[in-house]
Amino acid sequence: MIIIIIGPPGSGKGTVSERLAKEFGFFHLSPGELLREEVKKATIIGKEIQRYIEKGQLVPTHFVAEMLKLELKGKKKVVLDGFPRSLEQAESIQEIKIDRVINLDVSEKQVIERFAGRRICSKGTHGYHLQYLPPKKPGVCDEDGTLLVQRQDDKPEVIKQRFNVYHQESRPVLKYYQKKVQNVDAGKSPDEVYEQVKKILRL
């Protein structure tokens, strides 16, 4: 089963995907996370990617799509968190059968306040929120024990640009998949959002 999770920045794509991976064994495929790993390695490609991420722009499709297809190979149960984000990207995977597309619907006003409290583990894999999804021990990841940090691209001016890109590039993807899209009210609590997603997926 291949599921796409779409939604604006901060809508909870990573949070829902992480839970599906943990509880049901989905392979959580997040281009954002893979790209940040590449940036950390400080390779020539990593430095090039960083230029896009720090401006809140999409990394060129040919690069992300190739990386994604390699990761997808041979996997049967996948949650795609943050891909496709443009019509070009959707077309680049048209040969892949997508089972469900879940749209996390939440207002911009509501997600903006989530960013100030967002923390991720130092490995960049697990996400938290100081108020809504706190770790058991303050400042430390429950899963891998690394220190929690803020994301480099969670600055107000970059967040604004990520929203612009979402409206211009990513919303048309919902139309592309219109027959498969199911909406979730992502303005609710993390547990309530997750319950809605499980219901849609009949899990």
Which spans of this chain sit near ligand AP5 (rule: CB under 6 A)?
A: 7, 9-15, 31-32, 35, 52-53, 56-59, 64, 82-83, 85, 89, 114, 117-118, 127-129, 132-133, 153, 162, 186, 188-190, 193
CB of 199 to ligand AP5, least distance (A): 15
Q: Cβ of residue 66: shortest distance to ligand AP5, in angstroms?
A: 12
Rounded to whole angstroms, how far apart are CA atoms 5 and 30? 10
CB-based contacts of 113, cutoff 8 Å, min separation 6: none
**How, if at all, do strands 148-149 and 118-121 pair?**
antiparallel
Q: Give whichever of 15 and 100 is closer to ligand AP5, judged by the CB atom.
A: 15
List 29's β-bridge partners, or say none: 80
**In the complex, residue closest to ligand AP5 by CB:** 32
In the complex, least distance from residue 179 CB atom to ligand AP5, rounded to whole angstroms? 22
**Whole-number minimum distance, CB 22 to ligand AP5, in Å?**
13
DSSP-derived pairing of the beta strands 127-129 and 118-121: antiparallel
